[in-house]
A and B are shown apart, each in its own frame.
Chain A
């Protein structure tokens, strides 16, 4: 069980790192983050990571689709999925393997940004706790994005469609609480809103409810992806 997942994760991760696309995306976003860091820190003159992290979290709306669009759509298109699905592996192992690889690459990108808090600590005296909580929030949010992107990638053979669907869904979830609705609809909108939850974490507040929400969302998405891949066999 674990062996197959690890094998798929390893293969997928390597595929990320040999692909120029991944490096271009990393370079692109790290540059954006660098500019944001520079602008925010020189503007506020505060050793505070929160405004920066809250900007980061928005950029993940774009990072998510890029990192996940390939995962299953490409294999379906090239036919390697056929070979993979006739190997003695379970669908869930395949999905988990793919997902962990995406999360692995996400962590790599986040690790690159650790440069910023290190810089702040060298030249200032930032509050470590909120920074750690903020990173946890970003990571959880990013992991949820990856899981949503994975569903989209399992639905189509076309990477562009997968990316577009992911982006739209993420945007809807992001903006859910912005839409002014009355009564129960507002309650639901606030509940599914990802931005609301991650903003709390970025402030340094880790609420178990939020953590449970993200984990439930991730598990749910992985389950749905597994079902989609199983159902694909019937077509």
Chain B
């Protein structure tokens, strides 16, 4: 069984990130949502229609971009988009203007009349996104939409997806973490076919942190600095490690909610040590993710 007891809701106009390691069941979930595969048990309702019982009606509201971006290589993007438009029941004039719009949005205008077979991976990826946007669907299911794109195209594609917020509901699967924090309002993390967390990216990070950590780059005697920082109220612990040739990096763990940045700064400066940098060390989504999907270290 690829997925088991996956249950989540997406609000209209929301962008939901679907995060998980390879083989976690992301693609299976998307295939069930788009009506490609029936669930052996349970149900999926899209735009108010049961994807299995009222499949056709549900599919009218969904567009899908599979991970492999399957396209007809013997057609041009324009012809292909036109074909998708026809199947979606769009009139000839509606199709023509929509093709121009989505070509513009996905930046495929310059090769819209070339054969898909001659396009690069990144270009095809964008044609795939254009194909999904063509019918202007209520719900978009995108499986790894930025794979194979160069960094600039990734930024552009994320912007396209972010612009869909409000009007379209987007479910986006990815294993690239920054993508989720940049584009998604809510994250579902799945591992081995089960949901391990559902929350906003910010909440997840906060929840994992539990306490706040501040990093300081200080030029000064290690022992003395440690002792001085530990002596401050609300400080839980201090760790240090070598940073540059002549300075050390101190991680100061403080009680949650206590903002000690100014206290720490003035303490260091008063002692005459060189304070080179001070920043709150945010727990990255990577840390959250690793913590959630690693069985040996259960989340607190």
Please give the residue numbers on chain A whose beta carbons come within 8 Å of chain B beta carbons, in ascending order: 3-4, 7-8, 10-11, 14-15, 18-19, 78-83, 85-90, 233-234
Does any Cβ of A come within 8 Å of B194's Cβ?
A: no
**Separation in Å of the A105 CB from the closest CB of chain B?**
15
Name the contact of B68 in the complex, choosing from A7, A15, A79, A87 (C-beta under 8 A).
A79
B230 vs chain A, min Cβ distance (A): 59
Contact A83 B64 (CB under 8 A): yes
* A residues less than 8 Å from B59 (CB atoms): 86-88
| Contact for B88 among A15, A79, A82, A87, CB less than 8 A | A87
The answer, yes or no, to whether B273 is at the interface (CB within 8 Å) is: no
Partner of A79, one of B35, B66, B86: B66
CB neighbours (8 Å) of B57 from chain A are 88
Instruction: Check A88/B36 contact, CB under 8 A, given A79-B68, A79-B70, A80-B72.
Output: no
Q: Give the docked Cα–Cα distance between A78 and B74 (Å).
A: 12
Task: From the candidates A14, A80, A82, A87, name the one contacting B87 in the complex (CB within 8 A).
Answer: A87
Q: Is the CB of A82 within 8 A of B36?
A: yes
Complex contact B70–A78 (CB within 8 A): yes
Are B70 and A86 in contact (CB-based, < 8 A)?
no
Contacts A88-B59, A90-B56, A234-B38 given; indicate if A7 touches B70 (C-beta within 8 A): no
**B84 CB–A CB distance under 8 Å:** yes
Distance A78 CA – B71 CA, assembled complex (angstroms): 8
B178 at the interface (CB under 8 A from A): no
Q: Which residue of B lies closest to A81 (CB)?
A: B70
A89 to B35, CA, bound (A): 11
Contact of A15 among B31, B71, B74 (CB under 8 A): B74
**Is A80 within 8 A of B71, CB to CB?**
yes
Q: Are A86 and B34 in contact (CB under 8 A)?
A: yes
Q: Which of B60-74 contact A (CB under 8 A)?
A: 60, 62, 64, 66, 68, 70-74
B111 beta carbon closer than 8 Å to chain A:
no
- The answer to whether B70 and A80 touch across the interface, beta carbons within 8 angstroms, is yes
Question: B131 — which chain A residues lie within 8 A by C-beta?
Answer: 83
Say whether A233 contacts B64, CB under 8 Å.
no
Find chain B residues with CB under 8 A from A79 CB. Answer: 66, 68, 70
Q: Taking the complex as formed, is B290 at the interface, i.e. its CB lies under 8 A from any CB of chain A?
A: no
Contact between B60 and A83, CB atoms less than 8 A apart = no
How many residues on B have C-beta within 8 angstroms of the other chain's C-beta atoms? Answer: 28
Our pick among B34, B37, B87 for the contact of A89 (Cβ within 8 Å) is: B87
Residue numbers in A under 8 Å from B71 (CB-CB): 80
Asked if A7 contacts B34 (CB within 8 A), the reply is no
Known A-B contacts A79-B68, A234-B38; the reply to A18 vs B87 at CB < 8 A is no
Which residue from chain B places its CB closest to the CB of A17 in the assembled complex? B74
Asked if B89 lies at the interface with its beta carbon under 8 angstroms from chain A, I say yes
Q: How many whole Å from B239's CB to the nearest CB in chain A? A: 50
Assess whether A7 is in contact with B86, with CB atoms less than 8 Å apart: yes
Instruction: Please report the C-alpha to C-alpha distance between residue A85 and residue B84 in the assembled complex, in whole angstroms.
Output: 12
A165 to chain B, nearest CB (A): 24
A7 to B84, CA, bound (A): 9
State in angstroms the CA–CA spacing of A7 and B62 once bound together. 19
Contact B66 A82 (CB under 8 A): yes
Q: Tell me, in angstroms, the Cα distance from A11 to B62 when the chains sit together.
A: 22
Chain A nearest Cβ from B244, distance in angstroms:
51
Contacts of A15 in B (CB 8 A): 72, 74-75
**In the bound complex, do residue B87 and residue A7 qualify as a contact, i.e. CB atoms below 8 Å apart?**
yes
CA distance A206 to B74 in the complex (A): 41
List of A residues within 8 angstroms of B36 by Cβ: 82, 85-86, 233
Judge whether B56 and A83 touch: CB under 8 Å: no
Closest chain-B Cβ to A229's Cβ sits at a distance in Å of 12
Residue of B nearest to A93 (CB): B87
Residues of chain A lying within 8 A (CB to CB) of residue B89: 3
* B residues in contact with A8, CB < 8 Å: 87
Most buried by B among A8, A15, A80, A86: A86
Known: A3-B89, A233-B37. A87 touches B74 (CB 8 A): no
Interface centre among A7, A81, A87 (most CB of B within 10 A): A87
